[in-house]
Structure 1
Amino acid sequence: MTGLRQLQRQRVREAISSVAIRLFLERGFDEVPVTEVAAVAGVSKPTLFKYFPTKEDLVLHRIADHQGEAARVVRASGEPPVEALRRHFLDGLARHDPVTGLNDHPEVVAYHRMVFSTPSLAARVFHHMSLDERALAEALAEKTDDLTAGLLAGQVLATQRVLAQRNWRLLAQGVPLEEVEPEAVRAAERAFSLLPAV
């Protein structure tokens, strides 16, 4: 029964978020009040806030499944950490994972544009990144000293962010995916080669 209840909660959560993102992409994040999102989604405002404590969470829950991902990659791999993270990022490029910026679906491109051009959303993304950085530093500290772990965690996440934004910007400028992809792979290989081996 618990599994069914969780599945139902997840469906409601996804439905509310999908409505919100559709409205935000149509009219702009700041132009759509939470009360309208709740009404269109067919839930009360208190119910909406039970699932999403802030308006920003309506958008950023789509990246929440990536929270702590770099730390999980490091812990799960028998490879040196930087190599494991490089391979994971390249695998994401090959899958056109939206988190790598290499996805030309119009809604994904518009989603990135909204996130990076809306100050409150961009600030929350950086908050998520700081949590990821802390988690990655803890995972790396199991293999090296605390200072090296902290410095490398910051470098890795900055590298991934710069690469993803670069890919997204090229696609947003209209450069075809088939042209961006080989350049994205080359850039990722170069960027990860600049990171110190641990």
Structure 2
Amino acid sequence: MVMSGEKTGPGTVTRQPISLRERKKQLTYEAVSDAAIAMFLERGFDKVSVAEVAAAADISKPTLFRYFPSKEDLALHRFADHEDEAARVVAARAEGESPLDALRRHFLDGLERRDPVTGLCDHPQVLAFHRMLYGTPSLVARLYGYQSRSEAALARALGDGVRERLAAGQIIAVQRILAMENWRRIDAGASADQVYEGAVRAAELAFVQLRSGLEREQ
């Protein structure tokens, strides 16, 4: 067996052990998507066909569609990897730590690491990918599906009642807005280091507002 995820610790995001067969499947999944993304970045998403991606990956179209239900999923698999991240952060939080505190800490840690999910990453390949993503309407539409599933997973981790679903919706929306604002400033020419302090202040403010709003609802 091999482990997927990071080393354990308070608030650490972890996954269950996976079999060697599942690991090989994951590696194929990542290799096909990486090949597709390289082609999309070189020629444009709409100018690359699924058949061309399958040929480049040396697999058949039916096999490709077993891994990826749509062409858009080929480009967005990295977001799929993060679908249940907020839920896992809540589940792995330290004893006595609130879900919101755990999510705040995790987001701030992501900013410090320049995690692309936070929008605070100016690596040239990440910039190119984000420009392709936000410049392609079908990819943006598909991305909302990933975010909806992330919201549902977080709601289940919080308790899955109406109140928890409302809280999950607010939290995921706040994280999306923070990431988009960071990306907008970097796309305008600022470096990640230049944006960092403002991104931290915005995140702190956002989580204060979240806490205030969620506490009023209780």
Number of the residue aligned with 1:102: 120
- Do the aligned partners of 2:79 and 2:146 also contact (CA within 8 Å) in 1? no
Q: CA deviation at 1:147?
A: 3.2
Percent identical among aligned pairs is 57
Are residues 1:175 and 2:190 paired? yes
Q: Equivalent residues in 2 for 1:43-192 (5 A)?
A: 43-77=59-93, 78=95, 79-141=97-159, 146-192=161-207
- Do the aligned partners of 2:115 and 2:121 also contact (CA within 8 Å) in 1? yes
Q: Equivalent residues in 2 for 1:20-31 (5 A)?
A: 20-31=36-47
Provide TM-score, normalisation by structure 2.
0.83
Q: CA deviation at 1:12?
A: 2.1
Tell me which amino acid in the other structure corresponds to 1:182: E
The CA distance in 1 between the partners of 2:78 and 2:28, in whole Å, is 14
The CA distance in 2 between the partners of 1:148 and 1:50, in whole Å, is 36
- Do the aligned partners of 2:114 and 2:192 also contact (CA within 8 Å) in 1? no
Tell me which amino acid in the other structure corresponds to 2:195: V
Higher helix share: 1
**Cα deviations by residue, 1:78-127 (Å, 9 ceiling, x for unpaired):** 31121111111001111111111111111111212222221211111111
Q: Which runs of no fewer than 5 residues in structure 1 stay unpaired? A: none
CA separation of 1:8 and 1:71: change in aligned 2, threshold 3 A: closer
- Do the aligned partners of 2:152 and 2:168 also contact (CA within 8 Å) in 1? yes
RMSD of equivalent CA atoms: 1.8
Tell me which amino acid in the other structure corresponds to 1:136: L
Between 1 and 2, higher relative CO (CA 8 Å, sep ≥ 6) is seen in 1
- How many pairs align? 195
The CA distance in 2 between the partners of 1:52 and 1:135, in whole Å, is 21
Secondary structure (helix, strand or coil) at the match of 1:43 reads: coil
Q: CA deviation at 1:50?
A: 2.0
Q: Which runs of no fewer than 5 residues in structure 2 stay unpaired? A: 2-17
